Amino acid sequence: MGAVRGGIRDAGGAPEAGGGGTAPAPDPTHSPSPPVLRSQQWYGSGVAAGLRSFSHRARTRQLGYLPEEHLGKPVIAILNTWSDINPCHVHLRERAQAVKRGVWQAGGFPLEFPVSTLSETFQKPTPMLYRNLLSMETEELLRSYPVDGAVLLGGCDKSTPALLMGAASVDLPTVFVPAGPMLPGHWRGEVLGSGTDMWKYWDERRAGLIGDCDLAELESGLARSPGHCMTMGTASTLTAAAEVLGVTLPGASSIPAVDSAHDRMAAASGLRVVELVRRGRVLSQLLTPDAFQDAVTTVLGLGGSTNAVIHLVAMAARAGVRLTLDDFDRTARRVPVLADVRPGGSTHLMEDFHFAGGLPGFLTRIPDLLHLDRPTVAHDTLRDQLKPARVHNDDVIRTRDNPVAPEGGVAVLRGNLCPDGAVIKHIAADPRLLRHTGPAVVFDDYRTLRRTIDDPSLGITADHVLVLRGSGPLGGPGMPEYGMLPIPERLLKQGVRDMVRISDARMSGTSYGTCVLHVAPESHVGGPLALVRTGDMITLDVPARTLRLNVPDDELARRRTAWTPPPVRHERGYGALYAAHVTQADTGCDFDFLARPGAVPDPYAG
């Protein structure tokens, strides 16, 4: 990670994200010296600057730009994850124009760069396989081009961590622009949450309670605008984490994607990043241990996605901060869930959360649990940033004496089945199953599970524990969101809607149920999950934070001796690179060569 650049004070006075205000007024008591722009290594003038600088200026004229448009001005890279096949980001082409508008108004020079789009809805086997690829692209693009600062446009699950991981490794002044949640869904008078109600009504269809015509109507009403999932799924959780880390404008993470305030926020972000360049405020000044601890606190208090555990661990490592599963579990025991937003909550969606006060309002409920004296992109301290924040609806953002749950929404489990840890979103589970012992029914891969789960000869009852292996970082590959294992159709028709399910996979942040996830080490590398056999008794005890396979140690040793590693999945290409370097879930699933510390020099631009 690059060195912190300067001790420049303050970045205060930025326009609020939802207010669409104007550029911050100059501070008459503080006139910082003009910064030495990184881009000048490419564009320096005169014979002394050399042939390459002459070439760079000539090629910029080829692009149609006048010298006065860019020379001596902060050059801002706008990294845009827009794509025709990413519904979460389909509006970001227009938002990039708003960012450019802000950069120009602040006296900067914007350049838009298309980068990989990670579409949760379409990319197979999972965009998690490509998170590290986008992070590499982000890092190397920012390092290799003549840019002084960056605005990152993303929001769909993996894009937020990928962009911030890459940017943290370069350490420029940076602002993140969240894509924003889509509008609430509607169907026959019912308000729908994308993902969450998709799972619900698919089970209702399998149970025979709704028909194909109903399902066709649902297809048209479930997701009705651009933007990411409007539940407290992975996208909303991680953009909230980005906001509390201090890399977005205040309130930015919950603005609905199609609200005009979202356009204003994008423009304000362009204004802001130019000021950050002039003041020398780089990402390493924001992404501190205190900031990551506040992100963990926030994610747990929101009842956020289990995926945030993996991504925050990986993001922290890129910033040189050590974050572990134990940090999540320790924090969860003292943070109440105060956001009543589905699926952890009962009723509300992200638009309700936004107009109830958004993340700034939420954070005013837990000031004693935060580090308020650290900087953000918009203010000198988080404390200053929260001064105007208010909560406008106590039903959506609860008070401390009326929580959705008394402790954080994610628990970390340990035991002989998950020696390196596993996670469960217990606030989205059936409470009666949080202490449960039952016999395992084991599936070696997701294809087999889908093909056989409804086979009556398996004799699955509501007391069984469904176990899926072969779905971790290597086994998936990429750790797909298979963890909300389907309940057998026969049980659905009997009214069963939850069972204990265990896997080395992830699950969508919009999912729910008693699903133990991220079992580490995964079965593909010989973790204990590889040794489970159908009929083995498994005990889940969430209050005790344990997950245990009730098989004698000597028998497990015999099984281990007989176990053989599965064959290599990818013999070449990116998949082979991924398999050679990806780490396990408990350490963030980053590439080992990206997560480790070490200097990377800026390129020689002469």
pLDDT of 333-342, one tens digit each?
A: 999 999 999 9
Asked whether residue 511 is domain-assigned, the answer is yes
Residue 24 predicted with pLDDT over 60:
no
Per DSSP bridges, beta strands 185-187 and 75-80 are unpaired
Find the mean pLDDT for residues 367-375. Answer: 98
For the chain, report the end-to-end CA distance as a whole number of angstroms. 23
pLDDT of 303-334, one tens digit each?
A: 999 999 999 999 999 999 999 999 999 999 99
Asked whether residue 422 is domain-assigned, the answer is yes
When mean pLDDT is compared across 18-32, 186-200, 463-477, the lowest value belongs to 18-32
346: confidence class by pLDDT, cuts 50, 70, 90: confident
Phi/psi region, residue 439 (left: phi>0; alpha: psi -120 to 50; beta: rest), is beta
Segment holding 185, helix H or strand E = strand 185-187
- Do 126 and 257 fall into the same domain? yes
507: confidence class by pLDDT, cuts 50, 70, 90: very high
Residue 2 predicted with pLDDT over 70:
no
- Listed in sequence order, the residues at least 6 apart from 188 whose beta carbon sits closer than 8 Å to its beta carbon are 217
Find the mean pLDDT for residues 452-480. Answer: 97
State what percent of residues in the chain have pLDDT above 90: 88
Asked whether residue 535 is domain-assigned, the answer is yes
Higher pLDDT: 235 or 36? It is 235
**What's the token pair of residue 79?**
């990294």
Long-range contact pairs involving 195-200 (C-beta distance under 8 Å, separation at least 24):
195/229, 195/231, 195/233, 195/343, 195/508, 195/509, 195/510, 195/511, 196/231, 196/233, 196/342, 196/343, 196/510, 196/511, 196/512, 197/222, 198/222, 198/510, 199/484, 199/508, 199/510, 199/511, 199/512
Task: Report pLDDT for 22.
Answer: 34
Supply the pTM of this predicted model.
Answer: 0.93
46: confidence class by pLDDT, cuts 50, 70, 90: confident
Residue 544 predicted with pLDDT over 90:
yes
196: confidence class by pLDDT, cuts 50, 70, 90: confident
Write the DSSP symbol of residue 341. Answer: B
Residue finishing a domain among 387, 402, 423: 387
Task: Report pLDDT for 485.
Answer: 96
Asked whether residue 68 is domain-assigned, the answer is no
Number of domains in the chain: 3
Segment holding 548, helix H or strand E = strand 546-549
pLDDT of 416-465, one tens digit each?
A: 999 999 999 999 999 999 999 999 999 999 999 999 999 999 999 999 99
594: confidence class by pLDDT, cuts 50, 70, 90: very high
- Do 168 and 195 fall into the same domain? no
Cβ proximity of 116 and 134 under 8 Å: yes
510: confidence class by pLDDT, cuts 50, 70, 90: confident
Q: How far is CA 139 from the centre of its chain?
A: 18
CA 496, CA 4: separation in Å to the nearest integer? 55
β strands within 249-320, DSSP E: none
- Do 161 and 272 fall into the same domain? yes
CA 278, CA 35: separation in Å to the nearest integer? 6
- Do 343 and 455 fall into the same domain? no
Asked whether residue 14 is domain-assigned, the answer is no
Q: How far is CA 144 from the centre of its chain?
A: 26
What one-letter code names the amino acid at 90?
Answer: V
pLDDT of 547-564, one tens digit each?
A: 999 999 999 999 999 999
- Do 229 and 357 fall into the same domain? yes
Asked whether residue 602 is domain-assigned, the answer is no
Cβ proximity of 266 and 98 under 8 Å: yes
Task: Report pLDDT for 3.
Answer: 34
Cβ proximity of 574 and 478 under 8 Å: no
- Do 271 and 328 fall into the same domain? yes
Find the mean pLDDT for residues 180-188. Answer: 95
Helical H segments across 106-195, by residue range: 131-144, 159-170
Q: Report the chain's mean pLDDT, rounded to a whole number.
A: 93
Residue 259 predicted with pLDDT over 80:
yes
Find the mean pLDDT for residues 579-604. Answer: 95
Residue 20 predicted with pLDDT over 70:
no
29: confidence class by pLDDT, cuts 50, 70, 90: very low
Task: Report pLDDT for 195.
Answer: 86
33: confidence class by pLDDT, cuts 50, 70, 90: low
CA 319, CA 255: separation in Å to the nearest integer? 27
Cβ proximity of 182 and 256 under 8 Å: yes
28: confidence class by pLDDT, cuts 50, 70, 90: very low
pLDDT of 274-301, one tens digit each?
A: 999 999 999 999 999 999 999 999 999 9
Asked whether residue 574 is domain-assigned, the answer is no
CA 79, CA 183: separation in Å to the nearest integer? 25
Q: How far is CA 419 from CA 302, 333, 412, 477, 527, in A?
A: 27, 21, 11, 21, 9
- Listed in sequence order, the residues at least 6 apart from 330 whose beta carbon sits closer than 8 Å to its beta carbon are none
Segments forming the whole domain that contains residue 146? 73-183+225-387
- Do 362 and 470 fall into the same domain? no
- Do 176 and 288 fall into the same domain? yes
Task: Report pLDDT for 429.
Answer: 94
Long-range contact pairs involving 203-210 (C-beta distance under 8 Å, separation at least 24):
203/486, 203/487, 203/492, 203/497, 206/486, 206/489, 206/492, 207/489, 207/492, 207/493, 208/493
Find the mean pLDDT for residues 504-511. Answer: 92
Instruction: Write the CATH number for 466.
Output: 3.50.30.80
Instruction: Write the CATH number for 154.
Output: 3.40.50.2300
Cβ proximity of 528 and 417 under 8 Å: yes
Residue 600 predicted with pLDDT over 90:
yes
Task: Report pLDDT for 34.
Answer: 61
**What's the token pair of residue 121?**
């809805």
Task: Report pLDDT for 13.
Answer: 41
**What's the token pair of residue 486?**
């389907």
- Do 472 and 342 fall into the same domain? no
- Do 127 and 234 fall into the same domain? yes
pLDDT of 217-230, one tens digit each?
A: 999 999 999 999 99
Find the mean pLDDT for residues 512-525. Answer: 97
- Listed in sequence order, the residues at least 6 apart from 420 whose beta carbon sits closer than 8 Å to its beta carbon are 520, 521, 527, 584, 585, 586
- Do 234 and 382 fall into the same domain? yes
30: confidence class by pLDDT, cuts 50, 70, 90: very low
Cβ proximity of 488 and 497 under 8 Å: no
Backbone angles phi, psi at 79, to 5 degrees: -90, 115
CA 606, CA 82: separation in Å to the nearest integer? 33
Asked whether residue 60 is domain-assigned, the answer is no
SS (H, E, C) 385-412: HHCCCCCCCCCCECCCCCCCECCCCCEE
Find the mean pLDDT for residues 107-124. Answer: 97
- Do 214 and 282 fall into the same domain? no
Find the mean pLDDT for residues 182-198. Answer: 92
